[in-house]
Each structure stands twice: as structure tokens, then as C-alpha cells.
Amino acid sequence: RVLPTLPQDLAAFAPSPDGRQIAIVESGSDVVAVLEVATGALEVVSPKRGWKSKVLPAWRGTNELYFAALPASSTNRPELFRWRKGSAPQAISTNWPDAVVSTLLQKPEK
């Protein structure tokens, strides 16, 4: 089994309220990962899709994380996601206006 690796640039992170987990956004991309401090286990909750995140992840409680990401590499509309330990991230902004979600990520320059 291949284990996920930590993002390259760990400048953007947010510890959970209990300090047991750290949400990490690779500042040069849109990778979002959750690191379990006690074990070092890393879960990539949103893979690299080629954009740049403009927001830090935010915790709501100890096991609920909110972050911006693209739902798939084939779409250009960012969404705000809710992740809970043990479940897949869910987009919560699908009914929001494009103008609101368009500020969450930066499209890569060509």
C-alpha cells in the first residue's frame, strides 16, 4: 500500500480545537490533508487538482473540517466542502452563486 505524503509547502495549516489533528493546505496548490498528531497518520481529503487555495481550512468542533476545493479535475467551479472523520468530503455550496465560490480558489496561470 502506498501511503500519501505530506504536501510540499506546509505554510498554511489549522490545528483542530483539541490539538489532535492538523489540517494542512499546500499553499502553492489545492491539496488538503489532515494529519493525526499522535500517530502521524495522514489523510488526503482533497487531492491536487491544479488550482491554488486562497482560504485556510476551518474546524467546527474536533472532527468537522471545512475547506475549499474543486469537486473534480474536470470542473472549474470551486466548492466549499465539509469533511468528517471517517466519511468522504461533501460539497455544501452547490446552490451558492458562482460569484461567491469563485473567490475560494485561484485558477492557474497558463
Q: How far is Cα 110 from Cα 105, in angstroms, rounded to an integer?
A: 15
Categorize the per-residue pLDDT at 23 as very low, low, confident or very high, splitting at 50, 70 and 90: very high
Q: What percent of the chain has pLDDT over 90?
A: 49
- 25-75 pLDDT, tens per residue? 876 778 899 999 999 898 999 988 888 888 889 999 888 999 999 988 788
Per-residue pLDDT tens digits for 82-95 = 999 889 999 999 99
Q: What are phi and psi of 83, to 5 degrees?
A: -115, 135
Predicted pLDDT at 72: 86
Kindly state the DSSP code that residue 29 receives in the 8-state scheme. S
